[in-house]
Amino acid sequence: MSQPLRLGIAGLGTVGVGVVKIIRQHAAMLTARTGRDISISAVSARSKDKDRGVPLSGYAWEDDPVALATRDDVDVFVELMGGSDGPAKAATEAAIAAGKHVITANKAMLAMHGQALAEAAETAKVSLRYEAAVCGGIPVIKALTEGLAGNDITRVMGVMNGSCNYILTRMEDSGLNYQEIFAEADGLGYLEADPQLDVGGIDAAHKLAILSSIAFGTKVDFDGITLEGIERVSIEDITAAADMGYKIKLLGVAQMTGRGLEQRMQPCLVPASSPLGQLQGGTNMVVIEGDSIEQVVLRGPGAGMGPTASAVMADVCDIARGLSIPVFGVPADTLTTSQPAVSTAPAPYYLRMGLVDKPGALAKIATVLGEAGVSIDRMRQYGHANTAAPVLIVTHKAASASIENALQAMETTGVLAGAPVALRIEEL
């Protein structure tokens, strides 16, 4: 039997406690599967005296995570504190410099500093693993770096924030508006301390940046993502989209084009019958497309104690087995700097607008669309709401620039009762 693998865990919140529980409850199973005993040497958190529902007295305590990261009796530093900078980054850098392997669930740190950390880890010949940083319990990092390593990846997309998916599906089920469901989700503890990380799409964009790097061999580029959250999605849009056979999702999409790397995180319509359209509640889903595999759909819990701790332990087990691969699938010094690209590929669009109730209003909108090169696939007009006549249009494939031109021209027609809404329809 090899020497035990000794962990130092920084951060004893939901995920940290979940990791402690798995190690305590499944020690024999982990040994059988890895060939090594896995133990915890020391832990660190903000408060030593807090009751976390799991015994910690058998582990050494460090107030300073940097001191924990450099202890002689720690082989693997497990960073579960969070935050793109500060103690998490300092302790991770210290661990790598001290020759320790690192496991982290910190998507923000990797999205902002992934390249530098990867280069440092590979120079030090230690592992930097982060399965838990993207989509909780879904093994999407392992799928891209290992299971699909023989594929030229053509597109990665998915629902990568369970809180947003909960809000959108709950709005449809209840008929309540965004503000009401936001308050409900916040009260249930589904949102981050800063809710904008969730509803603004930032959390999901961090994940997309990491997946893009692995999929396309590029340096992590969070700033290159076109980003829009779900704050402007109304119950009217959700109801209307459903009536037309679609669901609205906060969808991340990444693909390499002839113009550069396209990365976008924005509300989109997807067919209600598609796997993404059927995704309910706080569940995540990632769709990966490659030249050999064609399409793989991964679905599972994106957060929570058990799922995220499970992902951490997957990395622990790989290190215990001696598995070593580059941080982003290929050596960090070979990752290229991508050229950010805005999508120009034509796609269908959903348009909703309220028109003033006077003759020729709809004809003016149709004319504007035609002059912008946008043709109408389907159109529905509903009963009047006060003085406005609600109109829904699904276009044939059109370039985003053509849609923008049409929306700008609509403002000059004098027939709009309010700002029109335009959402891309993503084809699966």
Per-residue pLDDT tens digits for 198-223: 999 999 999 999 999 999 999 999 99
Q: Is the pLDDT of residue 61 over 90?
A: yes
In degrees and rounded to multiples of 5, residue 251 shows phi and psi of -115, 130
Q: Is the pLDDT of residue 415 over 60?
A: yes
Q: How does residue 399 score in pLDDT terms, banded at 50, 70 and 90? A: very high
User: For 149-185, what is each residue's pLDDT tens digit?
Assistant: 999 999 999 999 999 999 999 999 999 999 999 999 9
Q: What are the catalytic residues?
A: 207
Look at residue 384 in the predicted model and tell me its pLDDT.
63
Look at residue 193 in the predicted model and tell me its pLDDT.
83
Look at residue 188 in the predicted model and tell me its pLDDT.
82
Look at residue 386 in the predicted model and tell me its pLDDT.
62
Domains of the chain: 5-133 (3.40.50.720), 140-301 (3.30.360.10), 349-424 (3.30.70.260)
Please compute the mean of the pLDDT values over residues 21-37 and round it to a whole number: 96
The answer to whether the beta carbons of residues 348 and 395 sit under 8 Å apart is yes
Look at residue 2 in the predicted model and tell me its pLDDT.
78
**Helix (H) or strand (E) run with residue 237 in it:** helix 235-243
User: How many angstroms separate the CA atoms of 91 and 95, rounded?
Assistant: 6
User: For 264-285, what is each residue's pLDDT tens digit?
Assistant: 999 999 999 999 999 999 899 9
**Helix (H) or strand (E) run with residue 129 in it:** strand 128-129
The percent of residues above 70 in pLDDT, for the chain, comes to 99
Residues of the chain by 3-state class (helix, strand, coil), percent to 5 = 40, 25, 35
Look at residue 385 in the predicted model and tell me its pLDDT.
56
User: For 292-318, what is each residue's pLDDT tens digit?
Assistant: 999 999 999 988 899 999 999 999 999
Q: Is the pLDDT of residue 428 over 90?
A: no
Look at residue 351 in the predicted model and tell me its pLDDT.
95
Q: Is the pLDDT of residue 229 over 70?
A: yes
User: How many angstroms separate the CA atoms of 269 and 426, rounded?
Assistant: 6
Q: How does residue 139 score in pLDDT terms, banded at 50, 70 and 90? A: very high
For the chain, give the mean pLDDT: 94
Q: How does residue 1 score in pLDDT terms, banded at 50, 70 and 90? A: low
User: How many angstroms separate the CA atoms of 129 and 141, rounded?
Assistant: 9
Question: How far is residue 305 from each of residues 18, 76, 167, 170, 197, measured CA to CA in Å?
Answer: 5, 20, 21, 22, 19
Q: Which two tokens stand for residue 127?
A: 């592992």
Mode of pairing for the β-strands spanning 60-61 and 38-44: parallel
pTM listed for this prediction: 0.93
Look at residue 270 in the predicted model and tell me its pLDDT.
97
Look at residue 389 in the predicted model and tell me its pLDDT.
82
Look at residue 388 in the predicted model and tell me its pLDDT.
80
Look at residue 145 in the predicted model and tell me its pLDDT.
97
